Amino acid sequence: MRGWEANVRAVTPYTPGEQPKLSHVVKLNTNENPYPPSPLVAQKLKSFDPDTLRLYPDPAMSSLVQGLADRYGVDREQVFVGVGSDDVLSMAFLAFFNSGRPVLFPDITYSFYDVWAEVYGIPYEQIPLDRQFGIVKEDYRRENGGVVFPNPNAPTGAALALSEIEDILCHNRDVVVIVDEAYVDFGTASAIPLVEKYDNLLVVQTFSKSRSMAGLRVGFAVGSKKLIGYLYGVRNSVNSYTMNRFALELGACALKDEAYFRKTCQKIVNTRERVKKELAALGFVFPDSKANFIFASHPAYDAKKLFEALRQQHIFVRYFEKPRISSYLRITVGTDEQMDILLAFLKKYMKKETPDGRFS
Ligand SMILES: *Cc1c(COP(=O)(O)O)cnc(C)c1O
């Protein structure tokens, strides 16, 4: 090792899902939305004036911030926006987890949390989910430097009730509690109404999943004015122009089409519920997902082998080679047609491959 390497902030980065360059893939590996964004977005893009790109974007990000404030019934000073919710969460870790005490999050959860903790030097403790992959609210009653969890959780899809989230808040009044609602629009109650009562609650959401705009990179957070003020303080000390003109205008535009948004989310929920029944009939087991993916395991078939077999057919799902979840596949809910291709392959595979009887 060279002398200078001893002082490098060396981290093992987050590994995003694969973006295959092939055409004709059934892409169910990164929880993207299979439907296009609102047609209003396409219209807006056509009328975009490239001359405006000479100028820096609006530092107050008014179009998007006001759109979000109106949509979620809060003041604009209660809204923070960032480059996807990854940027929002990263800024929140940097701003709020500064006590030297460990930040708590589940052992099976979004695999970016421990990466941010590592890169910012924040101590953390991973709290085991129960055997059914549920978050146990009582486990968040120990001394800590903050709490963060997704609701619904990823990659399990299991959701907490609002009363359970409020219980966690009640027992954590002196630290910031972050609820990552990346998948909330697929059928879970949002904790946003609780920000009026708990000034230490930060609710984070994204346009990447339910609004079909993962490529635009727009995320946001809602919290008390005080909390949001601190978040902007940190962001503006790192980079004051994170949101480009496309993100601000197209993001605001997407918010205006509530009917399209609702219709798209409902389609995904309907497909998810149908696929749950079909997977269960094939013998798969999974937590009851409230997200746009299903985290499924088959007692008789090896998940990694199945993952590879699917990949050969250009059906991409996500496999995590990690303790407790190495027998699971995370399958994004795509269109009905995509899910039919997946299900047809699974049926064929199970007819051909003899079960390896891992659990028998
Ligand atoms: C997808 C996801 C995010 C981040 O998505 P962005 O595209 O950065 O908005 C954050 N948290 C969880 C749990 C996610 O699954």
CATH code: domain of residue 315: 3.90.1150.10
- What 191-196 contacts at long range (C-beta under 8 Å, 24+ apart), as own/partner pairs, is 191/151, 191/162, 191/165, 192/72, 192/74, 192/222, 194/162, 194/165, 194/166, 194/169, 195/74, 195/78, 195/222, 195/223, 195/224
Hunting for tokens 């169910």 — which residue is that?
Answer: 28
Q: Is 27 helix (H, G, I), strand (E, B) or coil?
A: strand
At residue 193, φ and ψ (nearest 5 deg) are: -60, -20
Examine the domain organization and report whether 52 and 95 are in the same domain: yes
Does residue 185 sit within a domain? yes
Evaluate whether 350 touches 282 at the Cβ level (below 8 Å): yes
Examine the domain organization and report whether 108 and 96 are in the same domain: yes
Half-sphere exposure of 203 (CA within 13 A, CB side): 28
Examine the domain organization and report whether 251 and 263 are in the same domain: no
Mean pLDDT across 147-155: 98
Residues of the chain above pLDDT 70, percent: 99
Does residue 52 sit within a domain? yes
Mean pLDDT across 327-338: 98
- For residues 211 and 218, give the distance between their C-alpha atoms in angstroms, rounded to a whole number: 10
Residue nearest to atom 2 of ligand 1 (CA): 182
User: How would you label 301-322 residue by residue, b for 16+ Cβ within 10 Å and e otherwise?
Assistant: bbbeebbebbbeeebbbbbbee
Examine the domain organization and report whether 166 and 212 are in the same domain: yes
Does residue 13 sit within a domain? no
Does residue 360 sit within a domain? no
Does residue 300 sit within a domain? yes
Examine the domain organization and report whether 213 and 268 are in the same domain: no
Residue nearest to atom 1 of ligand 1 (CA): 182
Residue 66's domain comprises 39-256
- Among 23-27, 53-57, 102-106, 299-303, the minimum mean pLDDT is found in 23-27
pLDDT at 357 over 80: no
- For residues 334 and 343, give the distance between their C-alpha atoms in angstroms, rounded to a whole number: 12
Residue ending a domain, choose from 236, 256, 276:
256
**Which structure tokens are listed for 242?**
């994170």
Does residue 2 sit within a domain? no
Q: Which residues have a Cβ under 8 Å from the Cβ of 313 and sit 6 or more positions away?
A: 345
Relative to the CA of 154, which ligand 1 atom is closest? Answer: 13
CA 244 – ligand 1 centroid, Å:
19
Residue ending a domain, choose from 225, 256, 287:
256
Q: How remote is the C-alpha of 54 from its chain's centroid?
A: 33
Picking from 95, 94, 99, 140, the residue whose alpha carbon sits closest to that of residue 117 is 94
Examine the domain organization and report whether 63 and 199 are in the same domain: yes
Number of domains in the chain: 2
Does residue 170 sit within a domain? yes
- For residues 325 and 36, give the distance between their C-alpha atoms in angstroms, rounded to a whole number: 31
Residue nearest to atom 12 of ligand 1 (CA): 182
CATH of the domain at 135: 3.40.640.10
pLDDT digits (tens, 9 = 90+) for 84-107: 999 999 999 999 999 999 999 999
Pairing of strands 315-316, 26-27: parallel
Evaluate whether 59 touches 241 at the Cβ level (below 8 Å): yes
Examine the domain organization and report whether 44 and 26 are in the same domain: no
pLDDT in the model for residue 16: 86
Does residue 358 sit within a domain? no
Specify the pTM: 0.96
Examine the domain organization and report whether 200 and 313 are in the same domain: no
- For residues 342 and 268, give the distance between their C-alpha atoms in angstroms, rounded to a whole number: 16
Examine the domain organization and report whether 114 and 208 are in the same domain: yes
Examine the domain organization and report whether 135 and 27 are in the same domain: no
Q: Burial level of 34, CB count in 10 A (0-12/13-18/19+)?
A: buried
What does 30-41 look like in DSSP terms, one character per residue? S---SSPPPHHH
Query: Taking CB atoms and a 6 Å cutoff, what residues make up the pocket around ligand 1?
Result: 31, 84-86, 110, 150, 154, 180, 182, 206, 208, 214, 219
Examine the domain organization and report whether 127 and 199 are in the same domain: yes
CA 16 – ligand 1 centroid, Å:
10
Strand partners, 46: none
Residue nearest to atom 5 of ligand 1 (CA): 85
pLDDT at 360 over 50: no
pLDDT at 82 over 90: yes
Mean pLDDT across 101-123: 97
| CB atoms inside a 10 Å sphere around CB 335 | 14
What does 79-110 look like in DSSP terms, one character per residue? EEEESHHHHHHHHHHHHH--SSSPEEEESSS-
* Probe residue for ligand 1, chosen from 209, 212, 332 as the CB with the greatest number of ligand atoms within 8 Å: 209
Examine the domain organization and report whether 239 and 202 are in the same domain: yes
Residue ending a domain, choose from 231, 256, 281:
256
Hunting for tokens 């946003």 — which residue is that?
Answer: 192
pLDDT digits (tens, 9 = 90+) for 206-261: 999 999 999 999 999 999 999 999 999 999 999 999 999 999 999 999 999 999 99
Q: Which residues have a Cβ under 8 Å from the Cβ of 18 and sit 6 or more positions away?
A: 29, 30, 316
User: How would you label 212-236 residue by residue, b for 16+ Cβ within 10 Å and e otherwise?
Assistant: bbbebbbbbbbbbeebbebbeeebe
pLDDT at 295 over 90: yes
